Structures are given as C-alpha cells and as structure tokens.
Amino acid sequence: MRHVGRVTNPPLGLIAVGPLVEVTIQPHAVVAAQFTAQGLPVPAEAARLMVDTGAQRTCIDQAIAARLGLAPIRYEPMVGVSQKAENYPVFLVQMGLGMAEGEITQQAIWSAEVVGVPTISVGAHAGLIGRDFLAHFDFRYHGRDGTFELVTPVQVGTDASRREKEELRAKRKVERQARKKNRNRRR
C-alpha cells in the first residue's frame, strides 16, 4: 500500500511546499472505545504534517492535543532551536493515513507516539513526521516530478482489524463494569 503526495509546478512546488502529508489524529484505540461505549463520537482531527527525516520524533502542535482532549503519558526532554533541552508531553494516539494499492483505497491506522510542541504552525503544516513514524515505511522522494511516496508492505486492514478488536474488547469491559455496578446497586 502506498500514500502518494503530489505538488503542482515541479520541481519548484515541492521545494516551496515540501512533502506534506494529511493524517488523522485521534485518541488511542482503548480510549476511543470508551467514547464509543458511552455513545459519544470519537474526537478526531485532520492535520497536515511535513515529512522531516531530520526529526527523530513525530511531533504535533500542542493545540491539537488540547482540542482532542489527549492526556500525556510522560514528558521527555527535547532540544529545539533554543538548543536547550525542555520537557515536552508525549501522547499515545492513533494516526490514520490514506493509502491505496490499485483500485483499493483505505485508511491505514497506527498506534503512535507524538510529542506535543508549543505552536509550530508558522507554515502550512501543524507538525512533523519524524523518523519514528518513517520506521514503518519506505519514503521515496521524487524531486524532479514533484511527488513523494510512503510505501509499506503491511496489508491495510491488519492494523484496522487490530484496532477494531481492541475497541470491542474495551467496549465489552465497559459493559461488564456497568453490569457489575448495576448488580451492586440492586444489592
């Protein structure tokens, strides 16, 4: 499966805009399942991130994390342009990426860590896709024709099926807890 990015007016278009990828960010499957079990919509947000092979980690604007109600799982020291290590929150999320193979198109979904950084949306992107995310793909950059590709041998659906199973498991757990609570109330 592959995700193909394309800009107009190559090669200058790709130089000016860069390899931007639109991903969908939402809470981890276990948290998403709790929303679903309560009949609430799972919060999700589309964000354009720039592929940056110079970035160790994938990061997003902290404002996105705030809008999605994400809770950090820890803080990690990161060095930015200030050259000083500062602690930033790390979130565990699901990231979705539109991929295709021939006629088949599907949203591939991964569980991924993202680092929340203070507002970095100075351009057309709201974060960076770092080498941790790229570890799952072959990244092909075709500068002359203004395209780039993220290619994975993973069959789309594998991770989606896993997510569905996780959501189902979490939903059943919430239902079990509700039943237990009801039983205790009756007593």
How many residues bind another protein (CB under 8 A)? The answer is 36
How far apart CA 75 and CA 127 sit, in angstroms, is 18
Task: Reply yes or no: is the peptide bond before residue 41 cis, omega within 30 of 0.
Answer: no
Residue 125 found at the interface with another protein (CB under 8 A): no
Rg of the chain in Å (alpha carbons): 19
What minimum distance in Å lies between the beta carbon of 176 and another protein?
11
Do 59 and 126 contact (CB within 8 A), yes or no? no
Candidate residues 17, 20, 30, 134; the one interacting with another protein per rule CB under 8 A: 30
- Residue 166 interacts with another protein (CB under 8 A)? yes
Instruction: Find, among 96, 108, 85, the residue nearest to 158 by Cα.
Output: 108
Contacts of 12 (CB under 8 A, 6+ apart): none
Q: Which two tokens stand for residue 132?
A: 């941790």
Give the x/- contact pattern for another protein in 84-123, rule: CB under 8 A: -x-x-x--x------------------x-x-x-x------
Please identify which residue in 52, 61, 159, 167 interacts with another protein, judged by CB under 8 A.
52
Residues that bind another protein (CB under 8 A): 27-28, 30-31, 34, 52-57, 59, 71-81, 83, 85, 87, 89, 92, 111, 113, 115, 117, 128, 166, 170, 173
